């Protein structure tokens, strides 16, 4: 289109320093403009050089204001951030017979003298972000561990409580069985309890120093079968 329409003009702007946030940035942009009214254009501009100078100055002020209002990451990510300025510039230059067709950033860079300080600042920003993420991760890890500990303590307490209840029920049932056995045959119950005592007390390595008449040996001394007296 540029080669077919001779009225389209290209205006390249040398890189200029602009303040973006706290950073100094070299911004290189270009504009494509068109003569829409040859009579108005010739009345306003004595020649093409003058037209380029005036149009460049008009665009420069608007570009500076636009760039300074945008975050650095948006400027670096998009070449068409100046699109709305083309419309504004066309409205401002309409009476001179000029329309701005396109306005784009072609290159952004950091001034050589500012590179080291800028990179150091960017590095520190990344370190700050990393520290923030680590702190957040540590905080979430502590919360997760605390929650897990609380749940573990709750589960253990419930398990202990259920175990105590089961143990108590078992003891009560055993006591009932013992009581029933004792009531049915006290002598046989005493005999069984004595056998249990022997089994728990005496083994191959046990040595007892007791009187032969001790009650512990009652069923060793007796040759009678338990319950025989009753029969």
- Buried-state track 167-189, b at ≥16 Cβ within 10 A, e below 16: eeeeeeeeeeeeeeeeeeeeeeb
Indicate the pLDDT class of residue 118, thresholds 50, 70 and 90.
low
Distance CA 92, CA 1 (A): 25
**Full-model pTM:** 0.41
From the list 128, 105, 132, 130, the residue with the least C-alpha distance to 20 is 105
Q: What are the pLDDT digits (tens) for 1-29?
A: 333 344 567 666 555 666 666 667 777 77
Phi-psi region of 17 (alpha: psi -120 to 50; beta: other; left: phi over 0): beta
What are 62-85's pLDDT values in tens digits? 888 887 777 777 776 665 677 778
What CA–CA distance (Å, rounded) separates 15 from 26? 6
């Amino acid at each position: 289109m540029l080669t077919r329409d001779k009225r389209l003009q290209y205006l390249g702007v040398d890189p200029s320093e602009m303040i973006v946030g706290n950073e100094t940035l070299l911004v290189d942009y270009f504009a494509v403009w068109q003569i829409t009214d040859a009579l108005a254009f010739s009345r306003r501009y004595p020649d093409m050089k003058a037209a380029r100078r005036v149009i460049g100055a008009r665009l420069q002020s608007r570009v500076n204001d636009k760039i300074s209002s945008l975050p650095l990451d948006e400027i670096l990510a998009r070449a068409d951030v100046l699109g709305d300025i083309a419309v504004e510039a066309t409205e401002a230059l309409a009476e001179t017979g000029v329309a701005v067709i396109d306005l784009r950033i072609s290159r952004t860079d950091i001034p050589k003298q500012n590179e080291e300080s800028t990179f150091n600042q960017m590095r520190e920003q990344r370190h700050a972000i990393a520290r923030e993420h680590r702190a957040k991760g540590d905080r979430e890890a502590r919360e997760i561990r605390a929650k897990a500990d609380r749940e573990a303590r709750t589960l253990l307490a419930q398990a202990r409580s259920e175990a105590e209840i089961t143990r108590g029920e078992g003891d009560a049932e055993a006591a009932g069985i013992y009581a029933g056995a004792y009531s049915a045959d006290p002598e046989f119950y005493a005999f069984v309890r004595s056998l249990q005592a022997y089994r728990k007390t005496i083994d191959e390595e046990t040595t007892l120093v007791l009187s032969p008449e001790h009650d512990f040996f009652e069923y060793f001394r007796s040759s009678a079968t338990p319950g025989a007296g009753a029969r």
